[in-house]
Structure formats: C-alpha cells, structure tokens
Structure 1
Amino acid sequence: MTVWKSPWREREAMKYFPLFADLDGAGVLVVGGGEQAAQKVRLLAKTNAHITVVAEAVTEELSGLAQQGALTVVPRAFRADDVDGQRLVYSATGDRALDAIVAAAARARGVPVNVVDAPELSTFITPAIVDRAPVTVAIGTEGAAPVLAREIKTRLESWLPANLGALATRAQILRATVADSIPDGRARRRVWERLLQGPFRRAVLSGAESDAARIFQAEISGSAAPAVGRVYLIGCGPGDPDLLTLKALQRMQEADVLVIDRLVNPKILDYARRDAERIHVGKTPGRTSTSQSEINRILVREAAAGKVVARLKGGDPLIFGRAAEEMAALQAAHISVEVIPGITTAHACAARVGLPVTLREQVRQFSVVTGTTAHGEPELDWVALAAKGSAFSIYMGVGNAPVIRRNLLSAGAKPETPVVIVENGTQERERSFAATLHDLTDCVDQRHITGPAVIFVGLDWQDAGLRRPETVIVHRRRLRPSGSRRKRQSARRPSYEQERGKTLGLDSQPARRRNHCVPRFRGRLERVHHRGGRCRLPRRGQSAGGPRCLRLRAQPRGGTLSHRGPRNCGTHRAHPLPRARPRRRPPPSSTTCRVMLSPSLRPARPPPLPALRRPLHLRLQRGVRGSRTH
C-alpha cells in the first residue's frame, strides 16, 4: 500500500501548537515572589483570572496589588496541594530544585505548567503578546530566541493602531445586523471589506462615532454615496526612519497615494504600502520643479477621487512647510485634512550633536528663522537676533551665508559668536562643523556645504559645560597674508623652494625675462653660473637680477639643463649631461651660455652602476675645455 506523504512534513514540525486559553474566572497559580513572578503577574492582570501567589516573601509591587484585591498572596512555602483547582501554574522561584518540584506536582495533576527559563520542565510557554483586545497577536519562537519575538512584537506594536480593538468591537456589535440585511455570503464579505478598509474604519479609529453610524447605514441600505477621500499632512522628521512617530507610520500605511517632498528620506517610503501610488513633487532651489499651486491641485484631485492621500514632508509640516497653503486649498474643496506633526529638524540636529538650545541664565530664547524668501535675501529683525542671550537656527541659509554674516555683524553681533552647521542631519551623509560668525562664509565655501543644512548661531557646548562631540569638525580660517612684503615679492619672483632649488619638479620653469639667461632645471644640479647677463634667480634675501649664482642639490648623470638667453642665445634648447670626454670648445663669446663637467670629476669611462649615485659638478664658465656652445 502506498502511503501518501504530506509535503508539509518536509518542514520542521512545530513543537508548540498555539492556543488561546480561556482564563475568565479561572484560577492561576504563581509560585515565587521575586521580579520574575511580578512579570508574570503583570501579564495575567490583563485577564479576569483569579491569581494566587505562593511565596514566603513578595515584592512591594505584588504586595500593593494584593492590597488592591487584584491577587491573593499566600505567605508560606509551596505545597503540592496548591496546584489543585488551578487552570495554569507558573513557577518563578529562581531555585531549580524547587521549580522541578512544582513542575512534577502540576504534571501529576494534569495541569499545564510553565517554568521560567526552563523549557525542559514546562508543558507550555507564554508567547510575546500584542494586546489590542479583542484583537490579540501572539508571537512565539518555541523558546529558541525570545529576543527575536520581542523585536517582532515591537514592530507590530508600531504598525497596529492603539484603538484597533474598538474597530473589532464595533464589528462584533454589527455582525448580526449585517447578516440579517445581506443574506448572500459573497455580497456580505464584500460589504465587510468595504467597512473595515474604507471610510467606516477611518471614522471609528478617529473617534467620529456619528460619521461611522451614517456610513454604516448607507452601506447596509445600498445607498452609499461616492467615497470622499482625505489628506494627511505628515511630518517625516529630519530623515532618520527611526524618528517617525507611530501615528505617521499608521497613516502612511493607510494611504492610497503618496505625495512626496524632496527632503523625505527614501528609506521612509519602505514603511508605506507597496501598491500605493507615488508622486514626487520636491522643490529644488534654482531648478525647475513642481510649483506649490500644482501641488495643491494634485492633492485636491486625488482626494476628490475618493483616495487617501499622504502628503509627506521633511521635519514638521507646520514649520516652513507651506502647510497653510495646502490646508486652505483642501478646505476650499471641502476635503478633510489632518496634520500629523513630526520631529522638528532643528531640534533633531541639535540633539544629534548634543547641543542644548536653551541654557539657564544664558540663552533665554531660541528662534527658528528662514534663510531665504521668495525674493532671495531674508528679511529679518537682525538687531533682535544679534541681541545678547538670544540663539536661533536658520533653515535654508547656506546659499545666503554671506548675507547672514554681514547683516548680523552690522547689527552688533560679535565676530566670535559660535556657529554650528549640521548638514544632512540624522542621515548617513551627516556632517557637522563648528566655527565662528566671522568664519561662516569661509566654512560654507571651503567645506563645500551644499546639502540641506541647519545653521545654529549663539549656541556652544562650552557655555553648557559640555564637551564637543568628536564627530563635529572645527573649522579654522585659512590665513592669507594681505599686503605683506612676502606677498608683494611673490608676484615678482619665484618661491623660496624654486630659488634654492632644493626640490624642483620636471616642469619647474621660471617666467621668461628679456635679455637675461634663465635656466630651466630638469633633474638636480650642483652649481650654475651665468655669463652674458644678470642672474635671473637670486639667492634668498637678494633682489631679483643680482649677479649671484644658485647652489643646487641634485642627482648625478642623466639630467638635462636648458636655458633661455639673450637674443643671440637662440630658442629653448636642451643639453644632455656628457657621459664621455667632452669635445674641444670653439672660441668663447661674451654672450655664450656654457655647460661643462668639472675636470676634477671627469671620468675616463662611464662608471659602473653603483657609481651613478655620486654627485657631479656642472659649471658654466668661460674658456674651460670640454664646454659646449650654441
């Protein structure tokens, strides 16, 4: 006979089968009076069970619950007959031997028992619970990974509305009415889907009882009016998905359409419904983007079609988010709108770098201002902002940093006023800088700050007695000499390194000067003499054009010397260093440039390879055998 094998048997079998125990009026025994026992009592206190705690000593929390009548405390040691008549038994003594005795007594009487941190002694385990009574979600890992179960519970707690139980209770009340009004099962299921996913659900969760009753009656009678959508103006915070509020997360999951601002982190969109339509309407300064009037038309159009629209904005929608214009357009179209506040970007960035925005007796007020307007430059009360004891943050102020600096200094602010700039706060590309008001423009330019940034003025860690975080970069102005003698001379002659010839690159060539012999160096030379004109490159401290020579370090053999001389010196020509006996020179000339190898170091034949590191001496002098002319 062929035995059919279920494909599900190929998976690992469940050791624990999930069940929901009815504890209404039932007895539950908890053995132990410590913190572990208190944790079990807190969980059981959400039910209508009769809880009995057996322990010689109990915590103050358990004693207080006993005084309130929430449980009964038996102040003695455990006895086996304590298990009689109980629906469940929990052992949380912390004594493994006593836990084994409790487990054996419960097993002998057929009562399910759970021993804390001892699954081998337990006949059941308590899962992680998401309580939205009458909606209850149980999460278990069969004791393998309780931390994982707790993480899943945390995620579900954030996704499920806190008053989801009210919707289930209302559905339970209306179930009989729906069954009597709509006998067809398929049609009844479609009605329940519309009720629990549409306007009825939103009305119940928002507490609009009258609207919920009206929508239900219209749905049952078959005269339901066309659905009218609604709009949520959601503040998505500074960018970190972990800083989303629970309400913002829940409203995003309800939305059929997402109207997304440019400053919203793309990772936040992963928490929305996958089938939701996404419309990007971000506005970028200086670029072609969606106008505010067009955004208003999109919101009205989508909501009028009966859709739930989530308008996602960075930070808080009511702070420089133009929420008033969108709310006015929606109210004019008789469309419901709800504002979901978000964490303000300024406060989040300040918290990110550990910067208090108010200090007792020092910073008595904190303002949030904008660094740009529709006309370009900000129009602010600079005198009030520059007053002592005032601190403020500037949104969208990077582009107008020079204007902000100039106006604050003109209004009386001190140049050493502390400034903190946080770019892309709370995101992966976050950068933070500390500077002064005097160096604000230099910091923005030299650090290439271009992303969304918040500028804090008048706030410093030292004033609060705090240490500056290591992630904050201190910007110090790069000094540039102004009007100094060295700067004036640098326009006329090369730098000191070029003058001394200590480190000359392959392309180090001074500027050409008429009627002067200007050597060009490639490699490293020992000494250069000039005849037929004044020396182009003086020693340090001597004026240009002096009849001095340069002493240069350099490598032997293989280098080249080229020059530009007077008119009869010809164009640029390169002379390789000689490796053999030089030829006899022609008659000297007063305007001839010469290159020679020192006779004392002239080799009879090419030296071996190790000798290539020995220095050679080159001289330009007149009337010495072995020179070259041109």
Structure 2
Amino acid sequence: MSQILSQEAPPRLFPLFADLRGRRVLVVGAGSVGARKIEPLLMAGARVDIVAQALGERAQGWVLSGQAQWRSTAFEPRHLEGAWLVVVATNDEVLNRLVADEAERRQVLCNVVDVSRLSSFQSPAVVDRAPLQIAISSGGTAPVLARMVREQIERLLDDGLGPLASLLHRWRDRIRQHLPELSARRGWIDRLLRGPLARRLQALSTEQADATLESALQAAQQAPRGWVSIVGAGPGDPGLLTVQAVRRLQQADIILHDRLVPAAVLAMARRDAERIETGKQAGTHHTTQEQIHQLMLEHAREGKHVVRLKGGDPFVFGRGGEELEFLRAHGIDYEVVPGITAALACAAYAGIPLTHRDHAQSLRIVTAHCRDSLDTLDWQALALERQTLAVYMGVQGLSTFRQRLIEHGRAATTPVALIENGSRPEQRVLVGSLQTLPELAAHYQVVSPALLLIGEVTSLAASLHWFGQPPLQLPDAERARCEASMERCWPAAA
C-alpha cells in the first residue's frame, strides 16, 4: 500500500538554482515551446545547442546571431556528450522517451516539457527580479497552479527589487566591514529594506544610490527611524486594494485603522502587526484627530513602521493632508499610498457612470457631514444641470441638502441614488428623486457608510446594475403621497 501511495504522490523535488554560464545545454525541438525554454537559458549564459528538424522564427534568430548553435535535424545519443542539461520540447512521444532514456543512462538531467514522468528536473514558474529570483514548482503535477501563484507574487513584489539587490551586492563587503557583527548587520539591512529608503534607492541613479546608501551606513549605529505609510483602504472590497497597499499591510508593525475598514481588508495585514482602531463617526468621536497624530508620532519614534489605514483615499475627505503636515513638522518620514475613493468605486459597483455624453459632462465631489460644512458649499454651482454630484455625507443631513438644492434651482425630479456599503457583499442601492430623498433613506433605514449620487446618470442604475441585488425604490403608494405633498417632502425656503 505504501509503495502504491509513493508512486501516485507527486515527487518532492530538490530546489536548485544552477549556474549555467558557459556550460552546454542541449535543447531538442525549436518551435514556439522550445523557444520559450531556450530564452531563459540564453539569459543565464548557457551555451545552447539545438537539435530540431526545423527552426522556428525566434530560434532561427538566435542561431543567425551566434547566440545558439543548430547541431542537427535528428537526435543522436552522442549529442548528449558534454551536456549539463537537456530540454526536450517536441510532441513526438517516441523521441521524447528516447532522449529521456539516453539522458538517464549518462546521468544528464533531463526535462521533457509537460511530461513529468520522463523528467529528472522541472522548469519552475519564475518571478524574475534579477538578480533576485523566485521559483515556484508543483513537481510537474499542476503547472497552471504554479503559474497562478507566480502571478500573485508578481503583484506583490516591486519591480525595483532587482536593482536594489544589485546595489546591496556591490556594497556587501563595505557593509560587512562597517557592521561586522552578524545580528547588527542583519537588523540594519532588514530596517533598510522595510523602510522608505528602499523605495528611494530604487528610483535613484547608480551614483545617487551609492551616496544615499553611504549616508545610511554611516548612520547605522543610530537608533532606528520609524516611518508612516498613509494608505487608502478603498471602499471595502479587499480586491480593490492596490498592490502597494497590500505590501505595506504585510510590512506594518502598527496599523491605525478607521472604524469602517472591514475585517476582510485587515485580514491582508501581517498577522503579528498591532491593530489600533481609530474610530471616528459623525456625532461621536472615539479618537480625535489630535490623538491619531500623537499615536503616529509615538510609534514612529519607537522605530516602527506605522500604517495609517484610511477608508477610500487618504486625500479625498480623509484628512491625509493634515496628517502629512503633522508628520513633516515633527521630522517623521512618510509616504502616501492612494486608494480608490468611494465616489468611483460605489458608482461603478452600482452600475452608475459618473459621466455620460447624454447626461453629465462634469463631476463634483463634495462633503456635507454637518451643518457647518453645508453652509460653506456653493449651492448655486451645485444646482446646475448636466452634472453629477457625489456627496460624502451623514444620512441625517439629507433633508437640508435636498432643500438647498431645490431652492437654488435643481429640479425636484432629478434622479438620485443612495449607495450603502458600496462594493461590499451587503451593498444596497436605493434610487428615487431629489424630492423623495429623505423618505427613501428613512424607509430603508440607511446607515453609514453611504454615498449620495445626484444627477441623471443615476437613472441608469436600474438597467446597468451588475453587483448584488437590483436597486430598491420607495413603494408606489408612499412615493405618490410624497410627490403630492411638496411641503412635507421638501419644505419651501423660509
């Protein structure tokens, strides 16, 4: 029984990165599949000999340029002499087995593409940030799965990691001389790679990067400097997080997150990161903005990487600018990772285009969380036709918002949409008109987070919705009563 299981189980392969510079590799087959195998061999500096009945276009180019040699049209066992590896990329089963058997006899590692039972080594899916490389293998049992894993890792790793690895290689001896103790050296490199300096180094020229690294190395004995990433968490769907946002969540020591950031987004953070909710809600402030500033400062001064995780985008009604001003005033390094703001995401998930040639040629994004903010708005401009209003607001201000718009000339019949929990599984979209807006919200007991959209484009939600349940409306009888009673639906201006 154990023998049967061992035969059926996929092999446990030994991972190996081979230095093929100047070493001979035989490739049998030179079509499109063979070319995909030849290219990384040439990039690794291998001497590639090709055996094939005919050369594909790419293989022919390599032969004509002298990068590879075309040895023969028919395989002979002698072709394996002096080869370190052989790759077989043909659809001839008899030839594949012949090459594999001859390679086994000569103790030459062999890969028969997509035939794991004939292969003594597998070509992995590779994430290439040369000289940094990550190889993923399923032991030949599920190459599609290996490619899927590679795609996920590709999204997580900066393109600049290769130049950064080369920079550290050039400086390896000097870093060892300056920090001879292993633990100190490892700690310094770890802080370097996790901190904002790594991002800066990737963007600099060689000379600038060398000078910057020199300064960092001279300051290596100083207490580690913390830093803050102001990160946009998007509207709620974790799939809408940017790649950079996920990277920062994976690197964070401390995460200061808004109350409305969902658990699914927080689940993408490093498991041992400390999470601190900085809940702020209209009418009740659990943590003041000043307290949030002090938390960022306190943890950054302890040498930690702080992620300030904010719903939507930090620079769209997120007080990100105020937080950067505070950090700069106190000498704390920072960066900003934008997020998808609610106006864009919620409208998209509701099937509402914010602009449309037939309905709206402009978009205004405003906030109206309290009476003070309502008083500062340009109502004359907001009441203009053929534009879309995206309003970040507490639902308790809907009556006043409706009244002000109608007073300044916006038609009471203007279509509106309320999007509650946009992009999340519990999303609800409510549609109606400006005159029935407060009643619509009250009937369905809308709560935060909710986005208000006003304009003709919202009428498209009924036909274009694609996510979650279809839009909801007021029952006919209630809508009729509301429309017939202008005083009750929207009081006339005093």
**For this structure pair, what is the TM-score category when the shorter chain's length is used for normalisation?**
0.7 to 0.9
Structure 1, unmatched stretches of 5+, are 1-8, 484-630
CA shift, 1:277, in A, is 2.5
The answer to whether the aligner puts 1:141 opposite 2:138 as a matched pair is: yes
Confirm or deny: 8 A CA contact 2:369 2:394 kept in the other structure: yes
Which residue pairs with 1:91 in the alignment?
88
Corresponding residue of 1:234: 231
1:260–1:312 CA contact under 8 A, matched in 2: yes
* Cα distance change on mapping 1:92 and 1:420 into 2, 3 Å: farther
Structure 2 CA distance for aligned equivalents of residues 376 and 370 of structure 1: 7
The answer as to whether partners of 2:138 and 2:146 remain within 8 angstroms in 1 is yes
- Contact residue 461 and residue 468 of structure 1 kept, 8 A: no
Q: Could you say if the C-alpha distance between residues 482 and 138 of structure 1 is closer, same or farther in structure 2, counting changes exceeding 3 Å?
A: closer
Structure of higher CA gyration radius: 1
Separation in structure 2 between the aligned mates of residue 307 and residue 445 of structure 1, nearest angstrom = 45
Q: Does 2:343 correspond to 1:310? A: no
After TM superposition, give the deviation of residue 465 of structure 1 in Å: 12
TM-score by length of 1: 0.66
Q: Distance in 1 between matches of 2:342 and 2:63?
A: 48
* Conserved? CA contact 1:252–1:273, under 8 Å: yes
Q: 2:169 corresponds to which residue?
A: 172
Q: 1:317: how far off?
A: 0.4
Q: Which of 421, 434, 437 is the matching residue for 1:437?
A: 434
**Is residue 413 of structure 2 the alignment partner of residue 416 of structure 1?**
yes
Aligned to 1:212: 213
Deviation for aligned residue 1:82:
5.0
Residues of 1 paired with 2:200 and 2:144: CA distance?
Answer: 33
The amino acid that maps onto 2:75 is R
Residue 195 of structure 1 is aligned with which of 185, 188, 198?
Answer: 188
Kindly provide the CA deviation profile for residues 381-404 of structure 1, in whole angstroms up to 9, marking residues without a partner as x.
333233232112111252222222
Mark the CA change 1:105 to 1:14 in structure 2 (over 3 Å): closer, same or farther.
Answer: closer
Matches within 5 A, 1:96-135: 96-135=93-132
* Distance across 2 between alignment mates of 1:308 and 1:54: 55
Return the offset for 1:16: 2.3
- The CA distance in 1 between the partners of 2:357 and 2:70, in whole Å, is 53
Could you list the per-position Cα deviations for residues 430-464 of structure 1 after superposition, in whole angstroms to 9, with x for gaps in the alignment?
22233232332222111111130122222537769
Amino acid at match of 2:350: V
Matched, 1:79 2:88: no
Q: Per-residue deviation at 1:168?
A: 3.4
The 5 A counterparts of 1:422-571 are 422-460=419-457, 467-469=464-466, 471-480=469-478
Percentage identity across paired residues of the two chains: 36
Residue aligning to 2:490:
none
Q: Measure, in 2, the Cα distance between the counterparts of 1:384 and 1:401.
A: 18
Question: Which of 412-421 and 120-129 deviates more?
Answer: 412-421
Higher RCO, 1 vs 2 (CA within 8 Å, ≥6 residues apart): 2
2:488 aligned partner? none
Q: How does 1:326-337 map to 2 (within 5 A)?
A: 326-337=323-334
Q: Please report how far the alpha carbon of residue 316 of structure 1 lies from its aligned counterpart in structure 2 after TM superposition.
A: 0.8
Deviations 1:281-313 (A, max 9, x none): 120112242111221122222222322211110
Contact map agreement 1:439 1:477 (CA 8 A) in 2: no
Distance in 2, Cα, partners of 1:94 & 1:378: 75
Q: In 2, Cα distance between the equivalents of 1:180 and 1:48? A: 32
Kindly provide the amino acid, as one letter, of the partner of residue 183 in structure 2: R
Distance 1:482 1:148, change over 3 A: closer
Q: Determine whether 1:277 maps to 2:274.
A: yes
**SS of 1:473's equivalent?**
coil
CA distance in 1, matches of 2:412, 2:309: 39
Partner of 2:366, secondary structure, is strand
Q: Which moved more, 1:104-113 or 1:341-350?
A: 104-113
- C-alpha distance in 1 between matches for 2:51 and 2:336: 51
Q: 1:558-614 deviations in whole A, cap 9, x for unaligned?
A: xxxxxxxxxxxxxxxxxxxxxxxxxxxxxxxxxxxxxxxxxxxxxxxxxxxxxxxxx
| Residues 175, 217 of structure 2: 8 Å contact kept | no
Per the alignment, residue 293 of structure 1 pairs with: 290
Structure 2 CA distance for partners of 1:64 and 1:247, relative to 1, 3 Å: farther
**Partner of residue 255, structure 2:** 258
Q: Does 1:163 align with 2:163?
A: no
**Cα distance per residue 1:202-222 (max 9 Å; x no partner):** 323421734432221233xxx
Q: Which residue of 1 aligns with 2:45?
A: 48
Asked if 2 retains the 8 angstrom alpha-carbon contact of 1:435 and 1:475, the reply is yes
Secondary structure of 1:472's match?
A: coil
User: Helix, strand or coil: the match of 1:239?
Assistant: coil
Q: Distance in 2 between matches of 1:320 and 1:182?
A: 45
Higher helix share: 2
Q: Matches of 1:229 and 1:171 in 2, distance apart?
A: 21
Which residue type is aligned with residue 370 of structure 1?
A: T
**How many aligned residue pairs are there?**
464
Kindly tell me: are residues 412 and 180 of structure 1, through their superposed partners in 2, closer, same or farther at Cα, counting changes over 3 Å? Answer: closer
Shift of the alpha carbon at 1:247? Answer: 1.6
Aligned to 2:485: none
CA separation of 1:382 and 1:159: change in aligned 2, threshold 3 A: same
Q: Which amino acid aligns with 1:324?
A: G
Amino acid in the other structure paired with 1:191:
A
Structure 1 residues 206 and 34: alpha-carbon distance in aligned structure 2, compared to 1, 3 A threshold:
same
How do 1:279-428 residues align onto structure 2 when only pairs under 5 Å count?
Answer: 279-360=276-357, 362-373=359-370, 375=372, 377=374, 379-428=376-425
- CA pair 397-182 structure 1, distance change in 2 beyond 3 A: closer
Q: Using a 3 Å threshold, how does the CA distance of structure 1 residues 440 and 83 change in structure 2: closer, same or farther?
A: farther
Task: State the distance in 1 between where 2:133 and 2:351 align.
Answer: 40
Distance in structure 2 (CA, Å) of the matches to 1:262 and 1:319: 17
Residue deviations 1:521-557, cap 9 Å, x none?
Answer: xxxxxxxxxxxxxxxxxxxxxxxxxxxxxxxxxxxxx
CA contact (8 A) 2:389 2:453 kept: yes
**TM-score scaled by length of structure 2:** 0.82
Q: Per-residue CA shift, 1:469-528, capped at 9, x if unaligned?
A: 373224144425769xxxxxxxxxxxxxxxxxxxxxxxxxxxxxxxxxxxxxxxxxxxxx
Q: 1:424 to 1:482 in 2, by over 3 A?
A: closer
Answer whether contact 1:394 1:455 (CA < 8 A) is retained: yes
CA distance in 1, matches of 2:360, 2:62: 50
Aligned to 2:374, the other structure's residue is in SS state: coil
Question: Contact conserved, 1:229 with 1:335, CA < 8 A, in 2?
Answer: yes
Q: Which amino acid aligns with 2:217?
A: F
State how far apart, in whole Å, the 1-side matches of 2:377 and 2:226 are.
Answer: 39
CA positional deviation for 1:265: 1.6
- Contact 2:388/2:457 (<8 A) preserved: no
Distance 2:188 2:376 in 1: 51
Q: CA RMSD in A?
A: 3.3
Change (3 A) 1:408 1:31: farther
Whether the 8 Å contact between 1:166 and 1:205 is mirrored in structure 2 is no
Give, as a single letter, the amino acid of the residue that structure 1 aligns with 2:457: D
1:41-79 Cα deviation digits (max 9, x unpaired) = 45445423344555556666x269649949548598443
Moved more, 253-262 or 377-386: 377-386
